[in-house]
Structure formats: structure tokens, C-alpha cells
């Protein structure tokens, strides 16, 4: 090979090596970015799973402690009945006092 041919081959190899290095650097950058995105997604998934667990616990607690309309109606009826009994007793007491006390 001539000196000129050897220089051309060396130049071509250098350009090839440079192109390879550039592509390798780009590929490494993309890989690093993909890994970072994957880690961010994993953290988000963990946060969402934790939130779902908290919401499920809250729902279980709410369902366990909920008061139904039927229960509210029963409480209201019991309250009205108790107030009616108190009013009746008070009326009887006032009536007895009115008859027993001289005018």
C-alpha cells in the first residue's frame, strides 16, 4: 500500500471510530434516560398502590361504621317515642298538681 492509501484508510477508520463513539454515546444517553423514566414510573406506581391501599382501608372503615337510613329512622322513632312519653308524664304531673292544689 502506498502512503496515500494508508492515510486514506487511517482517515476512514478514524471517521468510522468517531461515528461509532457518537452513536454509542447517544445510545448510552437514551439508556440512562429510559432507566430514569422507569424508576420514576416505579415510584409513581408505588405511590398509587399506597394510595389505593389507604383508600381501601378508609372504605372498609366507612362501610363498617356507616349508618343506614333504616337505622336513622329507628333512632328517630325511638326519640319521638321517648319525647312523647316525657310529654305525657309531664302532662299527668301538671294535671295532678292542678287538681291537688287549691284554687
Q: Per-residue confidence of the chain (103 residues) as pLDDT tens digits?
A: 577 778 888 898 999 999 999 999 999 999 999 999 999 999 999 999 999 999 999 999 988 888 888 888 999 999 999 999 999 999 999 999 988 887 6
When divided into structural domains, the chain yields a total of: 2
Domain carrying residue 17: 1-66
Task: Measure the CA angle with vertex 36, ends 30 and 38; round to 5°.
Answer: 100
As a whole number of angstroms, the distance between CA 33 and CA 41 comes to: 12
Residues ≥6 apart with Cβ < 8 Å to 1 = 9
Give me 63's grid cell. Answer: 362501610
Residues 61 and 29 in one domain: yes
Residues 29 and 75 in one domain: no
Amino acid at each position: 500500500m502506498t502512503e496515500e492509501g494508508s492515510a486514506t484508510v487511517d482517515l476512514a477508520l478514524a471517521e468510522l471510530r468517531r461515528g461509532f463513539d457518537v452513536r454509542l454515546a447517544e445510545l448510552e444517553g437514551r439508556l440512562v434516560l429510559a432507566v430514569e423514566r422507569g424508576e420514576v414510573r416505579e415510584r409513581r406506581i408505588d405511590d398509587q398502590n399506597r394510595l389505593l391501599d389507604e383508600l381501601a382501608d378508609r372504605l372498609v372503615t366507612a362501610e363498617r361504621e356507616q349508618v343506614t337510613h333504616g337505622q336513622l329512622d329507628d333512632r328517630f322513632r325511638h326519640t319521638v317515642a321517648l319525647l312523647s312519653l316525657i310529654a305525657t308524664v309531664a302532662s299527668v304531673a301538671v294535671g295532678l298538681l292542678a287538681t291537688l292544689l287549691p284554687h
